[in-house]
């Protein structure tokens, strides 16, 4: 349930990145802003490429006591010493993931704009529910999450809720009182100075 406490900040990796430069960029952001969780979200299907990238991300994050989850790749969680998995298919895979990874693993579920899917994922054992996009986006079918969903969730549901997708400073200010986490990815990595961009985006949170 969203509380009066300041929402926590999560990071989402780009779908591809240069292993020579991105770890240092990630470290700089984590050293400048208190980060709760890193989500590894890579487009590649090459297992070795995934492993190399995940190893590098884990080293940076765990050195700073930041939890690491990987998008979709359930089988790599234990193998790579990660903290859990982020499931992009709502409630569908939550029970299996919990059974496979055990009680201590972080299991998150992305549920788009659908309250019912979020509730089902929470009941199935997800540790957090992500809804998005919050702002206008060309991804998916163009739907945006309604503010009322977050407001209702913060009042009724105990499972932490993550706001993500096309985040702006104004949206962070608006959704701050009803969100437990904000997850930033493209909003910062595509800019010349990700640290300053993130600081500007989260400035309304105090």
For domain 8-205, which CATH number applies: 3.20.20.140, 3.20.20.70, 3.40.50.10860, 3.50.50.60? Answer: 3.20.20.70
pLDDT tier at 140, thresholds 50, 70, 90: low
> Is residue 46 within 8 Å of residue 60, measured between CB atoms?
no
- Position 1 scores a pLDDT of 41
Q: How far apart are alpha carbons 121 and 87 in whole angstroms?
A: 10
Distance CA 108, CA 19 (A): 26
In tens, the pLDDT along 102-113 reads: 999 999 999 999
Domain boundaries, the chain: 8-205
């Amino acid at each position: 349930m969203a509380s009066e406490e300041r929402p926590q900040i999560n990071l989402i990796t780009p779908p591809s990145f240069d292993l020579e430069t991105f770890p240092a960029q990630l470290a700089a952001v984590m050293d400048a802003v208190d980060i709760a969780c890193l989500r590894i979200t890579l487009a590649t299907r090459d297992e070795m490429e995934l492993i190399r990238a995940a190893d590098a991300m884990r080293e940076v994050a765990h050195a700073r006591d930041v939890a690491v989850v990987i998008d979709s790749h359930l089988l790599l969680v234990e193998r790579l010493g990660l903290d859990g998995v982020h499931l992009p298919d709502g409630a569908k895979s939550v029970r299996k993931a919990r059974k496979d990874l055990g009680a201590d693993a972080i299991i998150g579920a992305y549920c788009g704009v659908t309250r019912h899917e979020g509730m089902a994922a929470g009941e199935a054992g997800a540790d957090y529910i992500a809804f998005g996009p919050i702002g206008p986006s060309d991804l998916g079918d163009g739907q945006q999450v309604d503010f009322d969903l977050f407001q209702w969730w913060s009042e009724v549901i105990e499972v932490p809720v993550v706001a993500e997708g096309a985040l702006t400073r104004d949206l962070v200010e608006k959704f701050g009182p009803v969100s437990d986490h904000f997850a930033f990815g493209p909003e910062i990595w595509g800019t010349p100075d990700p640290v300053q961009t993130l600081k500007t985006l989260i400035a309304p949170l105090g």
